[in-house]
Structure 1
Amino acid sequence: MTAPNETPELERLSELARTRGLRVSVAESLTSGRLANTIGAGESASDWFAGGIVAYFTEVKERVLGLTPGTDPTSAACAEQLATGALRLFEADICVSTTGVGGPGPEGGHPAGTVYLGWATAEDSGHRRLALTGDPDEVLSASVDAAVRLLAFHAESLHPAGPRRGSGGED
């Protein structure tokens, strides 16, 4: 039976993570847990979804995820740093982050609907900028959908994980 949030992209991500032994994580500001909720509904998520962190306060982003002080919270740099920080925190193979302005009005000089998704793997990181329209709920839903697509896209290029971190092997 398909979960209510199940989409073709989530099914694809679930399949890739399971068959390749990937560990997936998320870091959220804008989406306030919606992305983790969606990813957690993926098939056998308990086998591959390491978890997520919701960090609204800038000082939490700095202290827990390593955001450089003074970074614009609605920026490509912020999105990439959040993804990289959560990748390390969860010892994941891939991470996607969400940050931006959900609306209904502008914030920090950025119009409503300005969203940045960050992504990180052990080899690379990057971002995608979205300019969304609609009410805050529509912006958040579109952000989550785009983040799931981004995770699935980057999971395609990842190879099976090696020995799991922290699994011993050292004397």
Structure 2
Amino acid sequence: MTADQIAALARGHGYTVAVAESLTGGSLAAELAAADDSSEWFAGGVVAYQTRTKQRVLGVAPDCPVISAECVSTMAASLTDLMGADAVIAISGAGGPAGQAGQPPGTVVIATLVRGRESVEEHCFPGTPGQVLAAARAHALRQLAAQMRG
């Protein structure tokens, strides 16, 4: 799945897309912004890398584990309101080489929220931190496209 395919789905269905990123550090937003006619359908993104940013900007509760379905679900819902978007990706995880927040390296949680329909998936991608990030980005785009088609 490429960003240009997301662009086609967004234009075809009238979606406004946004991303809330932790693990991927803004690389999903950069990929989407480089797609065809992105100014028509891409609202933007929030990079909430630190836990306190997730809490202050995206409303994640202080006692919520930052690599969890609850966290990315909250990130997605908050971003929907913040950006006025109707197709959102939220992603958090432990890229490695060490684990984080009690999760092993490669653990990635992705939420997509499209016009009120949510999908949350947890994965464990193998490899170096760069390989984990690449796999996470690719899967996040596939997950969003599946939701946008549905």
Question: When the two structures are superposed, what TM-score results if normalisation uses the length of structure 1?
Answer: 0.83
Instruction: Decide which structure has the larger Cα Rg and report it.
Output: 1
**TM superposition shift of 1:69:** 1.9
**AA at the equivalent of 2:131:** E
Given candidates 28, 36, 48, the residue that maps to 1:55 is 48
How many aligned residue pairs are there?
150
Alignment match of 1:71 (pick from 60, 64, 77): 64
Extract unaligned runs of 5+ from structure 2. Answer: none
Q: Once superposed, what is the RMSD of the aligned Cα atoms?
A: 1.2
Percent identical residues: 37
Deviates more, 1:141-150 or 1:53-62: 53-62
Task: Give the unaligned 5+ runs of structure 1.
Answer: 1-7, 158-171
1:14 aligns with 2:7: yes
Query: In the alignment, does 2:69 pair up with 1:81?
Result: no
More helix by share: 2
Shift of 1:43: 1.2
SS in 2 for 1:73: coil
- Matched-pair contact (CA < 8 Å) for 1:83–1:96: yes
The CA distance in 2 between the partners of 1:35 and 1:89, in whole Å, is: 18
Q: Deviations over 1:100-137 (max 9, x none)?
A: 10000112221100000011133232311111000000
Q: Deviation of residue 10 (structure 1)? A: 2.5
Write the deviation string for residues 40-96 of structure 1: whole angstroms up to 9, x where unpaired. 122111110000000012222112111122100011111111111111111001101
